[in-house]
């Protein structure tokens, strides 16, 4: 397949790009800035464009026609979205509108309706306190990030109804881990922040309350496999939704213990007052396992953390400035 990957400079996008290339697909990696793009697998075409500028999309050849698209370009920080809702809707909704518009031109030229896999998020469900959240649960996002993702989902569903794309929406939970050359640089997230403490680049990890709130994690390698499975399953005129997660609840304390085992060093922590948050947010991913044959063999917390420690350290750490002291980590 000729596959376009947007957001290829990102943590997940880079792994998806290389995994598709390794499987023999002709991959075009779209980045905003070539100078910040990672080194991709041999044969990957790299194009630079901003989704908010249709002229740049045309110059990058997005309207040439593709067999498949993995759309991962997005703004993703929940707390930041509350301070900048317009920015988040521009990036996550308007950017998707512009991408679909360019792809529609390509379909008119080639007659090929691409398989379109959209990277969405469990944030569309809102602040639910449940174990086994199914895709059938009515979305109720509680922040602009989740709301912008849900708006893009609904747009994609309507576009699929025209027959011009076959759409698959992947609602991921917490994607973590690393592979060679690609690791999570966002130190506002739990595992990179814990590794920063274990490696001495941060002094302390701040835990809200007792640290027993349960979340689930999926290895980025397993997440990339979900994109591949979705590409092959997409059917023009249809839009399918799948949760993607391990289904295993892991507490913050469990994460810190896993980082300690991987690093051989304790993660220094302090406990702060509890905040209002779901005690458990764990998805039901049986549908993608049954219908697409997807699995999560790499997604134990020990495997995820071991790979994050190994490859993040080998690549120079998690992007945390040296000895950054007492930075709040909201968990």
d(CA 327, CA 13): 27
Q: Do domains 2-126+133-175+218-244 and 179-216+246-314 have the same CATH topology?
A: no
What is the pLDDT of the chain when averaged over all its residues? 92
Closest C-alpha among 111, 112, 119, 104 to residue 159: 104
d(CA 43, CA 195): 33
Of residues 277 and 109, more confidence is placed in: 109
pLDDT in tens, 211-270: 999 999 999 999 999 999 999 999 999 999 999 999 999 999 999 999 999 999 999 999
Q: What is the pLDDT of residue 314?
A: 54
Q: What is the pTM of this model?
A: 0.92
Looking at 137-151, 223-237, 271-285, 289-303, which range is the least confident one? 271-285
Domain 179-216+246-314 falls in which CATH fold? Answer: UDP-galactose 4-epimerase; domain 1 (3.90.25)
d(CA 51, CA 292): 30
Using CA atoms, how far residue 161 sits from 96, 111, 113, 134, in Å, is 16, 16, 12, 23
Using CA atoms, how far residue 90 sits from 9, 12, 145, 167, in Å, is 19, 21, 11, 21
Q: What is the pLDDT of residue 329?
A: 30
Please give the angle made by the CA atoms of 174, 188 and 197, to the nearest 5 degrees: 105
pLDDT in tens, 313-328: 755 554 433 333 333 3
- Select the CATH number that applies to the domain covering 2-126+133-175+218-244 from these four: 3.40.50.720, 3.40.1710.10, 3.30.70.890, 3.40.50.300: 3.40.50.720
Question: How deeply is 79 buried, as exposed, middle or buried, from its count of CB atoms within 10 A (0-12, 13-18, 19+)?
Answer: exposed
SS3 letters across the chain = CEEEEECCCCHHHHHHHHHHHHCCCEEEEEECCHHHCCCCCCCCEEEECCCCCHHHHHHCCHHHCCCEEEECCCCCCHHHHHHCHHHHHHHHHHHHHHHHHHHHHHHHHHCCCCEEEEEEEHHHHCCCCEEEECCCCCCCCCCHHHHHHHHHHHHHHHHHHCCCCEEEEEEECEEECEECCEECCCCCCHHHHHHHHHCCCECCEEEECCCCCEECEEEHHHHHHHHHHHHHHCCCCCEEEEEECCCCCEEHHHHHHHHHHHHCCCCCEEEECCCCCCCEEEECCHHHHHHHCCCCCCCCHHHHHHHHHHHHHHCCCCCCCCCECCCCCCC
Token pair recorded at residue 138? 């009515």
Token pair recorded at residue 9? 């400079």
Per-domain residue ranges of the chain = 2-126+133-175+218-244, 179-216+246-314
Looking at 93-97, 133-137, 150-154, 323-327, which range is the least confident one? 323-327
């Amino acid at each position: 397949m000729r596959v376009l990957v947007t957001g290829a400079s990102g943590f997940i996008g880079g792994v998806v790009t290389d995994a598709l290339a390794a499987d023999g697909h002709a991959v075009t990696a779209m980045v905003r800035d070539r100078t910040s793009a990672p080194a991709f697998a041999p044969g990957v075409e790299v194009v630079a464009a901003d989704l908010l500028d249709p002229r740049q999309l045309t110059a990058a050849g997005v309207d040439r026609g593709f067999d498949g698209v993995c759309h991962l370009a997005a703004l993703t920080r929940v707390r930041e979205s509350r301070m900048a809702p317009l920015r988040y809707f521009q990036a996550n909704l308007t950017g998707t509108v512009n991408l679909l518009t360019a792809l529609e031109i390509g379909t008119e030229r080639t007659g090929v309706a691409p398989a379109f896999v959209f990277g969405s998020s469990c944030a569309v469900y809102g602040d639910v306190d449940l174990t086994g959240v199914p895709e059938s649960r009515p979305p109720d996002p509680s922040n602009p990030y989740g709301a912008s993702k849900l708006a893009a989902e609904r747009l994609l569903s309507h576009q699929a109804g025209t027959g011009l794309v076959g759409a698959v929406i992947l609602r991921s939970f917490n994607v973590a881990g690393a592979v060679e050359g690609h690791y999570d640089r966002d130190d506002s997230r739990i595992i990179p922040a814990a590794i920063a403490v274990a490696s001495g680049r941060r002094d302390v990890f701040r835990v809200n309350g007792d640290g027993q709130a349960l979340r689930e994690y999926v290895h980025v390698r397993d997440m990339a496999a979900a994109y591949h499975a979705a590409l092959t399953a997409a059917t023009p005129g249809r839009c399918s939704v799948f949760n993607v997660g391990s289904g295993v609840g892991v507490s913050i304390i469990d994460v810190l213990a896993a980082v300690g085992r991987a690093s051989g060093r304790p993660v220094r922590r302090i406990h702060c007052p509890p905040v209002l948050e779901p005690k458990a947010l764990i998805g039901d991913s049986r549908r993608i396992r049954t219908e697409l044959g997807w699995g999560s063999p790499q997604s134990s917390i020990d495997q995820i953390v071991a790979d994050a420690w190994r490859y993040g350290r080998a690549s120079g750490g998690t992007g945390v400035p040296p000895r950054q002291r007492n930075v709040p980590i909201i968990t």
